[in-house]
Amino acid sequence: MKEATKFLDKLLKDGDTLVIGVSGGPDSMCLLDLITKLDKNIQIICAHVNHGLRKESIKEKKLVENYVHKHNIIFEYLEINDYKNNKFTESMGREKRYEFFNQLIDKYHANYLMTAHHGDDLIETVLMRLVRGSNLKGYLGIQKLKTNTKYSIARPLLYVTKKEIHDYLEENNIPYAIDKSNDNELYTRNRYRKHMLPFLKNEDKNVHLKFLKYSEELESYHKYVNNIVKDKVNEIFQNNKIDIEKLSKEDKFLQRKIIEYIITDYQKEYIFNINDKQIDNILKLINTSSNRKINLASGFIARRSYNNLYIEKNKDRENYNEEFSNELIINNHKFIQEENNIEKSNHIIRLNSEEIKMPLYIRTKKDGDKMVVKNLDGTKKLKDIFIDSKIDIEERRVYPILVDSNDIVLWVPGIKKSKFDKEINEKYDIIIKHMEVNNE
């Protein structure tokens, strides 16, 4: 425990406020007691979550409450009874716990969140990720200190083993609860704990410190590589799209890291869903010439369109058909009817209401849509107009089209105008201007 106490003593200063996740189990009670005994003028917030899954939960709450009241520690409690369809997963539980922790950090303006992950947890996590497949950051397991924009997460018990924790609790007569589900081999982690850890500890009783050194070494490599990758990302990833030509010029290793970095940015809450197979599939997509998309984890897709790659949420987009009068904003497009405008571009159309059927509508493209293009002999499919203009395949589905009440296509705003468009010196009584805007 000396190393854990030394870490805490060096990290904390008078005036700090800490939120500690305390389940009532041996690990969290050990951490709570260690911090309580520090010779520091600090504020401690004990955060206890009842997931409502076991009848022992009420006793565990009482155990933690008794300890914190005895030591004049603030007690915050959350009881959860709203798991969807009564189905619980470890990731769901973790998400709800950390939502609660973050609320408390804001409430008390805390600068540290403390969790009771210990050396055995680190070994299990590293081994699980090696077997499952992860990335450089994933393989380092559990970070001893992780700094966010508002606070830092600290895990002082990574220096100690489960046995050392039990020895400390017995020596100091600290009460704790036992969660019997930790023996259930249906959980992957429990199988590693039961079958892998005894072998490793038999080889070296301090093997957890070797894993901690491995983790810290890998973290240094990750930070170094990440700084290089950040610079590359700024060159290659702009306006939410990856420039495939620029990416292809990079070393294969950097290509993987750049993609990894971008996905991580999109999937902050699901960072460890990124695995080798995902990256391989994206690289295959980059190396093909066809415009297509692939599914990623957590509801994301990777989509190639010409020389760009998009990584985005997979959203079902609805068709629309809106009547236009004076002004309309739809998706990222704005339309305004004007009195006068001498602009000459594909963002302005002038119409004679006697030649078309009013009112006008702005809608999405339909299969088979055609337009009599201005200054072109004959009609042209809108699909071909979009392809010629290199409009992204997903964008085509929601791109606004101006039509009259006979459903005759009058204008593909910003791209092509129909024969119904009038020159400034011709007769017209309608002027419509198109602009691209940001809806966010």
Q: What is the pLDDT of residue 281?
A: 84
Question: Which residues, in sequence order, are CB contacts of 125 under 8 Å at separation 6+?
Answer: 141, 142
Query: Rounded to whole angstroms, how far apart are CA atoms 277 and 264?
Result: 15
Query: Rounded to whole angstroms, how far apart are CA atoms 267 and 307?
Result: 23
Instruction: Measure the CA angle with vertex 252, ends 232 and 223; round to 5°.
Output: 50
Q: What is the pLDDT of residue 87?
A: 55
Query: Rounded to whole angstroms, how far apart are CA atoms 119 and 209?
Result: 7
| Mean per-residue pLDDT, 233-243 | 89
| Mean per-residue pLDDT, 402-407 | 96
Q: How far is CA 294 from CA 83, 85, 96, 302, in A?
A: 30, 29, 30, 5
Domain residue ranges of the chain, discontinuous segments joined by +: 2-215, 239-313, 321-436
Weakest mean pLDDT among 53-62, 107-116, 254-263, 380-389: 53-62
Read off the pLDDT band of 316 (50, 70, 90): very low
Read off the pLDDT band of 293 (50, 70, 90): confident
CA atoms within a 13 Å half-sphere pointing along the CA-CB vector of 151: 21
- For 367, which DSSP code? T
Query: Rounded to whole angstroms, how far apart are CA atoms 102 and 151?
Result: 10
Is residue 162's pLDDT more than 60? yes
Is residue 262's pLDDT more than 60? yes
Higher pLDDT, 58 or 214: 214
Domains 239-313 and 321-436 share a fold: no
Give the CATH class of 2-215.
alpha beta
Query: Rounded to whole angstroms, how far apart are CA atoms 71 and 252?
Result: 56
Is residue 270's pLDDT more than 50? no
Beta strand 430-436 with 416-417 is unpaired
415's tokens: 């791209």
Q: What is the pLDDT of residue 232?
A: 94
Cα dihedral: 392, 396, 401, 407 (round 10): 150
Mean pLDDT computed over every residue of the chain: 87
Higher pLDDT, 287 or 388: 388
CATH (residue range 321-436): 3.50.40.10
Is residue 440's pLDDT more than 50? no
Is residue 6's pLDDT more than 80? yes
pLDDT tens per residue, range 343-382: 889 999 999 999 999 999 999 999 899 999 999 888 999 9
Query: Rounded to whole angstroms, how far apart are CA atoms 130 and 125?
Result: 9
- For 87, which DSSP code? -
Q: What is the pLDDT of residue 138?
A: 84
**Three-state DSSP state, 8:** helix
Higher pLDDT, 240 or 24: 24
**Three-state DSSP state, 163:** helix
CA-nearest of 251, 402, 423 to 350 is 423
% residues pLDDT > 90 (the chain)? 59
Helix %, strand %, coil % of the chain (to 5)? 45, 20, 35
Give the distance, in angstroms, between the CA of residue 204 and the centroid of all CA atoms in the same chain: 38
Q: What is the pLDDT of residue 319?
A: 77
Cα Rg, the chain, nearest whole Å? 30
| Mean per-residue pLDDT, 390-416 | 90
Is residue 439's pLDDT more than 60? no
Is residue 273's pLDDT more than 60? no
Instruction: Measure the CA angle with vertex 325, ends 320 and 326; round to 5°.
Output: 115
Question: Which residues, in sequence order, are CB contacts of 328 under 8 Å at separation 6+?
Answer: 322, 334, 335, 362
Q: What is the pLDDT of residue 314?
A: 64
313's tokens: 């949420």
290's tokens: 């066809």
Weakest mean pLDDT among 271-280, 296-305, 347-356: 271-280
Q: What is the pLDDT of residue 276?
A: 72
Query: Rounded to whole angstroms, how far apart are CA atoms 389 and 146?
Result: 47
Q: What is the pLDDT of residue 318?
A: 61
- For 86, which DSSP code? G
Whether cis (ω within 30° of 0) applies to the bond prior to 156 is: no
Is residue 431's pLDDT more than 80? yes
Is residue 9's pLDDT more than 50? yes
Cα end-to-end span (Å), the chain: 51
Weakest mean pLDDT among 58-67, 133-142, 192-201, 343-352: 133-142
Q: What is the pLDDT of residue 280?
A: 85
Is residue 83's pLDDT more than 60? no
Is residue 266's pLDDT more than 70? no
Q: What is the pLDDT of residue 294?
A: 77
Read off the pLDDT band of 189 (50, 70, 90): confident
340's tokens: 């006068």
Please tell us whether the domain made up of 239-313 is placed in CATH 2.60.40.1730.
no
Is residue 100's pLDDT more than 80? yes
Q: What is the pLDDT of residue 397?
A: 81
Query: Rounded to whole angstroms, how far apart are CA atoms 291 and 409?
Result: 26
173-190 burial code (b ≥16 CB/10 A, e <16): ebebbebeeeeeeeeeee
Read off the pLDDT band of 271 (50, 70, 90): very low
Give the distance, in angstroms, between the CA of residue 170 and the centroid of all CA atoms in the same chain: 42
